A and B are shown apart, each in its own frame.
Chain A
Amino acid sequence: MREFFKHLRYVIGENPVTAVAFGLFALIVLLAIVGPVIAPFDPLASDTNNALQPPSPEHWFGTDQLGRDVLSRVIVATRLDLGISIAAVALSFAIGSALGAYAGFFGGWSDRIVGRVADTIMAFPLFVLAMGIVAALGNTVENIVYATAIINLPFYARVARAEVNVRRDAAFVEAARLCGNGDMRILAVHVFPNILPPMMVQISLNMGWAILNAAGLSFIGLGVRPPTAEWGIMVAEGATFIISGEWWLALFPGAALMLAVFCFNLLGDGLRDLIDPRQRT
């Protein structure tokens, strides 16, 4: 464990941008956990007499078209957005990389089938596929997660397959086999951890995409259900108020969204450095 923290400190020290990314991520997780407690107002409580008020000492981020406090909504939305991105990515990572690793290791028919399925999904214009899935299944948070997971599956499958394929005949695999390890065990315990580093970047990029995806769906009207506080839908609704001068409705959730996606994007590099055994000091 101490080894891990020493390594973590080294990685952060090497790259200041990574440090910023990790710090930001920690902040986001913190907000997700304590958000609802520290929010000054009830994110769902409307107050039509105070609608569309600009930022003030009472409402730091102003109020929206129903008089709800924007700051509270932005804080509370952290949990949902983090949840969506982690769930979607975890799902597509787990299934995609498992499929891809299996296909890359064992080859043959599994390889062909996985390849075809991945190609089919990738040939769809991805956002439209997500739209189609959500439109067909209904716009709930679960369906948005499923749709995002499906459209991101092929990336993991491809990367996993390629990486496993390269390492399949490596010396350490031979060694493990000679020790009497079965194929599945080799795949799971020896090969898989080695392919994680290149996947890290993909994972963090996808986390960012998941949130942007949800935002795009909200703009079309297929996002989460109102009155749920979610950055994407707040930006989508707020965007139409920009022209009339109520910039705070879109800016603050937009900034939060941007910071989160930004953080995830930069995180990937740091995560890769952290996990890559070749980078160990």
Chain B
Amino acid sequence: MKHSTLKLIARRLLHAVPSVIGIVVVTFLLTRALPGDPAVYFAGPAADEKSIAEIRTALGLDRGLPEQFGIYLKNLAQGDLGVSIGTGRPVVTELAERLPASIELTLCGLLFALSVALPLGVLAATRPNSAVDHLCRVVVTAGVSLPTFFTGLFLIYIFYYLLGWSPSPLGRLDFVYVPPPHITGFYLVDSLLAGDVETFRGSAAQLILPAFTLGLFALAPIARMTRAAMLSVLSSDFIRTARASGLARSKVLIAYALRNAMLPVLTTLGMVFSFLLGANVLVEKVFSWPGIGSFAVEALVASDYAAVQGFVLAMAILFVALNLTIDVLYTFVDPRVKMDS
């Protein structure tokens, strides 16, 4: 790697540090600001004063806030994110299991969105202000104008309940299959690695509806950005030169214009990806997807401090890493781009 790229990475990481610190502090305070006493919640039914006090001590909630924060930081430094009271398992384990589920779903949704929005954006850019352009705009905007849980339930109603075309919305894998041995956590990848085509098909089938629901939401930003970027590239000098040189239209469009328009699209993709990861919450509830979103909601409602803190921290770090990757990719793709602070 180039020296300047390394310097870029280092500088970006350094920049990210205050943000991460801010996130850690804000999350800690936010969870403590949540109403409800987790000790009461988890002392369970028929618990009396004594058992609640016992649980409170066991959870360390009877100590002062600064002390609790100190303990949290100490554990954090050792990679211990605490135990989720709701599921009784270490938060790290929960994240390790649920994050791949959400990422797999989001990636599939993004893939679907790309396969539809990119061509639409290009199409709209080649015929600006025409009927086709307006139609494209209307279609993608419609996709982003509906709440995801509404689209999800409606799709389930039509494609599962009425038509019986899609498999039961039971989660990642129908019960007749056994999950493939864990390598990446992505069922699609792991099942192929294990050579199990049946399970691959099963996982893919379960992914169709939720990925479609999620992807609908991402159509608009991608299509818009593609269209805008293509428009500005198509009017640039080098395209004019390419056309004047007599190159075939499709070659100009795909090989030259699109390649150059990809840069801002790439940035948008990153933003869309992290936005989708957060918006997963609602889709996961409807499709019984055991992902990070449903975990976060349950943890929030139950005032499960460790779980909420762990979740937010994981997402924040993911976001920082994602942005960094995109920035680095940028420098590889476009040597003109200089990264300033």
Contact = CB atoms under 8 A, between A and B. Distances in A.
A touches B (Cβ under 8 A): yes
A262 B281 contact: no
B281 A135 contact: no
A232 B34 CA distance: 23
Contacts of B277: 125
A247 to B, nearest CB: 8
A239 B19 contact: no
Given A125-B278, A265-B144, A243 B22 contact: no
Given A16-B134, A120-B26, A131 B297 contact: yes
Contacts of B148: 216
Interface string A127-140: 11001110111100
A215 B147 contact: yes
B227 to A, nearest CB: 11
A126 B35 CA distance: 20
Interface string B275-294: 10111011001000000010
Contacts of A126: 275, 278
Contacts, number: 136
A219 B157 CA distance: 18
B231 to A, nearest CB: 13
Contacts of B22: 116-117, 120
A258 B143 CA distance: 9
A17 B137 contact: yes
Interface in B124-161: 129, 134, 137-138, 141-142, 144-150, 153-154, 156-157, 161
Interface residues of A, number: 44
Determine the main DSSP class of B at the interface with A: helix
Interface residues of B, number: 52
B319 interface: yes
Given A15-B129, A17-B137, A123-B319, A239 B281 contact: no
B220 interface: yes
A275 to B, nearest CB: 18
A219 B137 CA distance: 28
A24 to B, nearest CB: 12
Contacts of A174: none
Contact of B147 (A124, A125, A137, A219): A219
A250 interface: yes
B300 interface: yes
B27 to A, nearest CB: 8
A100 interface: no
Nearest to A218: B147
Contact of B142 (A117, A128, A258): A258
B311 interface: yes
A235 to B, nearest CB: 5
Nearest to A133: B30
Given A124-B312, A220-B297, A116 B35 contact: no
B301 interface: yes
B173 interface: no
A123 B320 contact: yes
Nearest to B160: A243
Given A123-B19, A123-B319, A216 B282 contact: yes
B110 to A, nearest CB: 16
Contacts of A240: 153
Nearest to B21: A120
A131 B279 CA distance: 11
A257 B147 contact: yes
A232 B147 contact: yes
Contacts of A133: 30
B316 interface: yes
A43 interface: no
22 contacts: A120-B23, A123-B23, A124-B23, A125-B278, A126-B278, A128-B311, A128-B312, A135-B301, A137-B33, A215-B147, A216-B149, A219-B282, A219-B285, A221-B301, A235-B150, A239-B149, A239-B153, A243-B157, A250-B150, A262-B145, A265-B144, A265-B145
Given A216-B148, A243-B156, 6 more contacts: A124-B312, A132-B34, A137-B33, A243-B153, A254-B150, A265-B141
**What are the 4 closest A-B residue pairs judged by CB atoms, nearest first?**
A125-B278, A261-B145, A120-B22, A136-B33
Interface of B: 15-16, 18-20, 22-23, 26, 30-31, 33-35, 129, 134, 137-138, 141-142, 144-150, 153-154, 156-157, 161, 220, 274-275, 277-279, 281-282, 285, 293, 296-297, 300-301, 308, 311-312, 315-316, 319-320
